[in-house]
Every structure is written in C-alpha cells, then in structure tokens.
C-alpha cells in the first residue's frame, strides 16, 4: 500500500484489499518499531563481534562484558550471550590432555606447604610451577612455567625438546631474575622427577626458597598451574594446525608475554590482566 499512497487514499486501498484502516496503521507503527529494533540489534552484534575478534575468538560472554564496559559500551551478560548465539560465535572449547608427571622415583619429596591455599597477600609469597607438552611437526616440545599466585602472572618459563631438570631450572632462574631474587618464597610443584632432582633442589637452597610438593596423584593440589595450561591449550593449540618447533615457540612466547600477562582477564583477580593487577596493587 505504501507505494500507492500518492495515487489513492488509504480508505480506498483498505476497502480494495479487504483490510481495516486501523490494521494498516498498526502494521505501519510495528514496521517502524521493528526497523528500529533491527538497527539496535545490528549495533549490538557489531560491538560483540568486534570484541570477540579482538579476543582472538578465545573469550565468552563474561570476559566480553568487561571488555565492552571498559570501552564505555556496557551491555548485560544475557544480551551478549544472545548476540554470540545469534551470530554463531563460539569461544574455543575445552579438551582433555594427558599428564606428563613422572612421580615414580626414589628422589626426595618435599612436604605440601601450599596445602591448596592459592591465595597470596604479596608478590613473591607463593609460586607454583608445572610442565606440559605441545605437539609440533618436529615432535614434542615441553614447556615449564612459574606462576606468582599473587597476580597469576607467568614470571618464568622455559621450552625444550627434553623434559629434564634443566627445563625447570631455567624457568626458575627466569623467575628469580625477573623478581630480583626474593627469599623465602614457597615454590610449589608436583612430585615429578624434574622437581625432585638434585639440580632443582640445589637452586632452591642456593636462593633460600622453600620447596613444596603436591600429594601423589592429586592434580588439584596444583590447580592454578593446571588451569594455565588448560587456557593455553584451549586458546592457542586446540583446533589449530600443527606448527614446526620455531613457530610453536614464537606462538607460545606471544601467548605468555602478550596475551596472557598483559591482556587476558583473570577471574581470580577481578577480571583484569596480571600485569594490570600488579600495576594497581604493587607499590
């Protein structure tokens, strides 16, 4: 009817089409309202899509909520979830991975000083460490990390083709250099032979650090390190084509030093990144 309004009256067209004038005007009002809603929905979808892309497809509704709020584009969680679903945007999904720990050895085992208390009031109070593996086109690459529980920041890490004591010693030395050689830190790990080795224990003693180990076969005693490896593999490795050793090292370096430490929002520290948390709270 709209296209003929300049030629015929609404009354004539309504009679010809067997519709009421009130019905036509109701349709016209709803049409304008639906057009406005469509524009609003497209604007929301655009914001959510951009935040999803900026997060490299790794973030769900909760982290996108904080990103948009910081950009002065606040949207509630339900709206973001609906938009993600509407656009078919799904954050990278979880996958189970095998444990690398070899605790079948006769080396000394330290007591569990951490006792699942993952809180820390100050930097360099408690560090947790663990090893994982990543497949490359050239074989396995092993990664050891050292995490400060105060900010969940990765303060030391090392990569090698060999899963040995040198791997974990290198990660510890990076953490010591970065943190200016603090003393009295609890360094918690599983009971793997690398952490029970003479070389690793010697480093701990040399720099006055306290060794702590999980109970045998209990991954929850080192849950924070497990959580980091879960994030790394889900967000960086799972579903991506295999890379060679050099490419994998570069990708992991970028993930740790840029994505995780500088930008990734961590639920345990108020949904900000580890570096921002330390910048706000460490004098």
- Residue whose C-alpha is closest to residue 127's, from 159, 152, 102, 108: 152
Residue 153: the pLDDT is 97
Statement: the pTM of the whole predicted model exceeds 0.75: no
For the segment 222-246, the average pLDDT, to the nearest whole number, is 89
Confidence class for position 211, pLDDT limits 50, 70, 90? very high
Average pLDDT, the chain: 84
> Mind listing the pLDDT tens digit for each residue in 176-210?
999 999 999 999 999 999 999 999 999 999 999 99
Confidence class for position 13, pLDDT limits 50, 70, 90? low
Better-scored residue on pLDDT, 6 or 93 = 93
Residue 240: the pLDDT is 80
Sheet holding 126-136, edge to edge: 153-160, 139-148, 126-136, 186-189, 210-213
**pLDDT exceeds 80 at position 84:** yes
Q: What are phi and psi of 146, to 5 degrees?
A: -125, 120
**pLDDT exceeds 90 at position 42:** no
> Mind listing the pLDDT tens digit for each residue in 131-158?
999 999 999 999 999 999 999 999 999 9
Residue 60: the pLDDT is 81
């Amino acid at each position: 009817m709209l296209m003929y309004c300049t030629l015929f009256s609404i009354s004539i067209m309504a009679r010809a089409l067997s519709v009421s004038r009130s019905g036509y005007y109701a349709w016209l009002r709803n049409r304008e309202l639906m057009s406005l809603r469509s524009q609003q929905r497209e604007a929301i979808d655009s914001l959510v899509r951009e935040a999803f892309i900026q997060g490299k497809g790794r973030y769900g509704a909760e982290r996108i909520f904080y990103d948009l709020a910081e950009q002065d584009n606040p949207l509630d969680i339900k709206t973001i979830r609906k938009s993600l679903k509407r656009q078919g945007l799904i954050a990278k999904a979880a996958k189970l991975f095998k444990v690398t720990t070899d605790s079948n050895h006769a080396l000394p085992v330290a007591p569990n000083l951490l006792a699942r208390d993952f809180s820390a009031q100050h930097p360099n109070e408690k560090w947790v460490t663990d090893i994982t593996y990543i497949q490359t086109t050239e074989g396995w690459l092993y990664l050891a990390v050292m995490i400060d529980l105060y900010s969940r920041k990765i303060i030391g890490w090392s990569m090698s083709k060999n899963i040995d004591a040198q791997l974990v010693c290198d990660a510890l030395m990076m953490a010591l250099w970065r943190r200016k050689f603090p003393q009295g830190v609890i360094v918690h790990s599983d009971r793997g032979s690398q952490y029970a080795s003479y070389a690793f224990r010697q480093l701990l003693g040399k720099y006055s650090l306290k060794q702590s180990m999980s109970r045998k076969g209990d991954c929850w005693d080192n849950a924070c390190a497990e959580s980091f490896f879960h994030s790394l593999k889900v967000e960086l490795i799972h579903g991506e084509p295999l890379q060679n050793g050099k490419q994998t090292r570069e990708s992991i370096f970028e993930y740790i030093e840029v994505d995780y430490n500088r930008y990734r929002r961590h639920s345990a520290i108020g949904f900000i990144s580890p570096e921002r948390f330390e910048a706000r709270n460490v004098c």
